[in-house]
Copies of this chain bind each other. A is one copy, B any other.
Amino acid sequence: MVSSLGCAKIGCKMYDYVATSGMSESGINMLELSRITRNYQRGDLIFKQASPSQELYCLRSGQVLLSHTDAFGHKTAFRVAGPREIIGFRSFFGEDDHAATAEALTNCTICLHTRPTINKLIDTCPGFARVFMRTLARDRGPADALVLRGQHVPVRTRLVYLLLIMKDRQGVKETKGNLSFELPVLRRDIAALLGARAESVTRAISELKKDGVVTIKNRTVTIPSLKRLYAETQRGAEAKAAS
């Protein structure tokens, strides 16, 4: 079993929420008492699309891929969650079955919080509800990657956007002027995030490499010039102002 350190000690998001919502010790104790900690192996399903949503999941370590499979059997990924992020909240508060599948990209440790506890927290502290409303409102859910999936933007550009997002989420190393970081996902997952096929991702990668914008070797991304990467973003964007 995992260490029994409290949420406070490990910098858990739920703890932050309870704390910033101006709640006393009692709220934190409530969380601690009902918290369930689980470990997942790489590849494990944390929850599955269309299964009932019972808990709120709070990542302590590891990475999780959230994806949605439509009626046509097409898988679209819309979020990569990391430590200190909460997942499953949309279905939880929507009181709906899970709209997405969560899969462990790496080994993960996750805290589960049950409905009675969360409801009690909401009832006793309006601030807590307010913080969560903010989270819900800001999370675009499957739309998070709206840019990433707009058909009018070429795969190459969408990939660049994704890299810029990933860069800020993953640990970035700097070696002799080059930034580099590790991708937490496979080609096929990148494809799912971009709404493209793995082959197209490969082609976009080799194009970007050819043009010296970024190099992606296996899981390692190397950026010679961040400026150059940002410039890529503007490709074909002579921004015809909207009506």
Contacts and interface: CB of A to CB of B under 8 A. Distances in A.
Interface of A: 68-76, 78, 89-96, 119, 122-123, 126, 129-130, 132-134, 136-138, 140-143, 146-147, 149-153, 195, 236-237, 239-243
Given A73-B239, A73-B242, A142-B146, A133 B132 contact: yes
Best-surrounded residue of A136, A152, A240 (most CB of chain B within 10 A)? A136
Of listed A70, A76, A243, residue having the most chain B CB within 10 A: A70
A146 B143 contact: yes
A70 B140 contact: no
The 10 closest A-B pairs by CB, nearest first: A143-B143, A94-B137, A93-B137, A129-B129, A142-B143, A136-B136, A69-B242, A94-B138, A73-B240, A123-B126
Contact of A76 (B136, B150, B236): B150
13 contacts: A68-B146, A71-B147, A73-B239, A93-B137, A96-B137, A96-B138, A123-B126, A126-B129, A136-B136, A140-B143, A141-B143, A142-B143, A150-B195
Contacts of A152: 72, 74, 195
A119 B68 CA distance: 34
A155 to B, nearest CB: 10
A91 B130 contact: no
Contacts of A75: 242-243
Nearest to A152: B74
A237 B74 CA distance: 10
Contact of A95 (B76, B94, B134, B236): B134
